[in-house]
Structure 1
């Protein structure tokens, strides 16, 4: 899994995804989010506090091997993925809320990820690991998330026809590059892949399903409107697996192929579960108009 070209491709993959999302956003989307601070706060509490607790319980319940358990906690501590924004875009969620949550989490991760990973390493590993997340790496991810979005928004504002022309091919390319990254990781770990997936597969699936349910259900219980709750469900249920894989593989950080496996497995599972979640959110319902929502994809 330790492939230089793979690590070098991750920023490109994230940048393409965020550019595509920026092409569909306007400044008004963010201004509307500013009038919904409760939605942002509730989603952040779910993602930063509740999910690591849930993930820790699942790692214990499934009796995961130490490296895979720490990899699961690394996944739980990762920010929401750009793919979450894409799914929210497709299924009528509040996309600007997704982008805002991704941006905020990309800042918070400089504090939350070292805490979560260090505590879990101290618990699950025989020798306590002192794992630090360099500020430069977090700032790099933060820039990869925000800069392409700003570029996309500028294109839409200054050249709306070009933005409409670019929207579909960029969206398709974003799926392709992410799939290539996941495929490369799978290829690199092919010899041990079956054993890894047997050990972590059910735990990853359970964590994914619980994350989607928590992300949607808790905001709804808190009185958040449906469009924002759908966005929160995708944001909390779809982690930035490319980020988690990068941290796990990077020699300067964890330098562990085993810890990258939960992120890889999650990156495969989440595409199907998120599609099912989105289908359930749109099935047989006339959705209420919500700020920042996009036209949903009708189920086949």
Structure 2
């Protein structure tokens, strides 16, 4: 039963995100006071990631280092650079610019692994890139924020390092320890983790939407336009550069999805702790946007893969008849 509920929650994730966003926007009082627990909600999501990460996820680094290194490098170069260029091109106000750049400097999100599976991409590569980029986040996210965002606002590397470590790295390490020494509990928890993640992410998004309702009304169109552009350019640039490096087709799809989909929940948490609510809006909007564009891109690639398989079967049958 728990497994079925978890699968249902994962498949209908976009519906719950949209529903909670609408409720939060129309009845913000329902989410009042929840802002303080956002880091803990994100910690729960990261704990779930730690409970599901396997040692085998990292073996790919040693077996096929090229696509992993390219994927992680593009993750931390393409999105921050795109965010910086978009902020300059649109002459964004400081708070919005900080929010967009913060999204770009975060690691990939776990949703990308599901999208890679749907797209018939290299799922193992996707999981490895997500895992490696997340483990590197305590150092790389503050570093790139300091590099790209300091012209808009003061950025403290040390305080951001501590925040990312507490919210991301510590829960993941706890999850790994639980998985190692309490295997039975870890295996049973896998059935309920998708549901817990959906609830936690939806509450994070709803809390930010409710707390930033007036700001969204004032700047919503600008933020939405910038976030969509950032997300779509991330997919496109990731794919093009993966093609330049001559990766296999399934690897190119995985890298494209990894680059375009960010851990926007982390961006929201960091924005609230270190900056202000308006900076968190970009992360909240990105959470919604990539949950729309990701499935669309994944289904497009899935249909192309299905057509190619059908054509191969037809050619094979004709060849056998000949």
User: Aligned pair 1:233/2:256, yes or no?
Assistant: yes
Question: Out of 53, 57, 61, which is 2:89 matched to?
Answer: 61
**What CA RMSD, in Å, does the superposition of the two structures yield over aligned residues?**
3.1
Once residues 191 and 117 of structure 1 are traced to their aligned partners in structure 2, the CA distance between those partners, rounded to angstroms, is: 26
Once residues 225 and 234 of structure 1 are traced to their aligned partners in structure 2, the CA distance between those partners, rounded to angstroms, is: 14
User: Aligned pair 1:131/2:131, yes or no?
Assistant: no
Please state how far the C-alpha of 1:190 moved relative to its aligned partner: 1.5
Please state how far the C-alpha of 1:214 moved relative to its aligned partner: 2.0
Unaligned runs of 5+ in 1: 290-300
Please state how far the C-alpha of 1:279 moved relative to its aligned partner: 0.8
Secondary structure of the equivalent of 2:305? coil
With normalisation by structure 2, the TM-score equals 0.74
Query: How do 1:105-184 residues align onto structure 2 when only pairs under 5 Å count?
Result: 105-125=133-153, 129-134=154-159, 135-140=161-166, 141-145=168-172, 147-148=174-175, 163=187, 169-184=192-207
- Deviation per CA, 1:80-108: give whole Å up to 9, x if none: 11222232244333333333323332343
With normalisation by structure 1, the TM-score equals 0.79
Query: How do 1:7-156 residues align onto structure 2 when only pairs under 5 Å count?
Result: 7-16=39-48, 19=51, 21-22=52-53, 27-125=55-153, 129-134=154-159, 135-140=161-166, 141-145=168-172, 147-148=174-175
Quote the residue 2:275 is aligned against: 255
Unaligned runs of 5+ in 2: 1-31, 310-322
Once residues 121 and 88 of structure 1 are traced to their aligned partners in structure 2, the CA distance between those partners, rounded to angstroms, is: 31
Secondary structure of the equivalent of 1:54? helix
Quote the residue 2:224 is aligned against: 201
Secondary structure of the equivalent of 1:124? coil
Secondary structure of the equivalent of 1:60? helix
Query: Counting helix residues as a fraction of each chain, which structure ranks higher?
Result: 2
- Greater CA drift, 168-177 or 39-48: 168-177
User: Aligned pair 1:242/2:248, yes or no?
Assistant: no
Which structure: larger Rg? 2
Query: How do 1:275-286 residues align onto structure 2 when only pairs under 5 Å count?
Result: 275-286=295-306
Contact 1:17-1:174 within 8 A present in 2 as well: no
Please state how far the C-alpha of 1:46 moved relative to its aligned partner: 1.4
Aligned residue pair count: 275
Change in 2 beyond 3 A, CA 1:59/1:180? same
Please state how far the C-alpha of 1:186 moved relative to its aligned partner: 0.7
Quote the residue 1:215 is aligned against: 238
Question: Out of 273, 276, 293, which is 1:273 matched to?
Answer: 293
Once residues 307 and 250 of structure 2 are traced to their aligned partners in structure 1, the CA distance between those partners, rounded to angstroms, is: 9
Quote the residue 2:36 is aligned against: 4
Contact 2:47-2:172 within 8 A present in 1 as well: yes
- Deviation per CA, 1:149-198: give whole Å up to 9, x if none: 6756988xx77xx95x8656533442332122111211111122222322
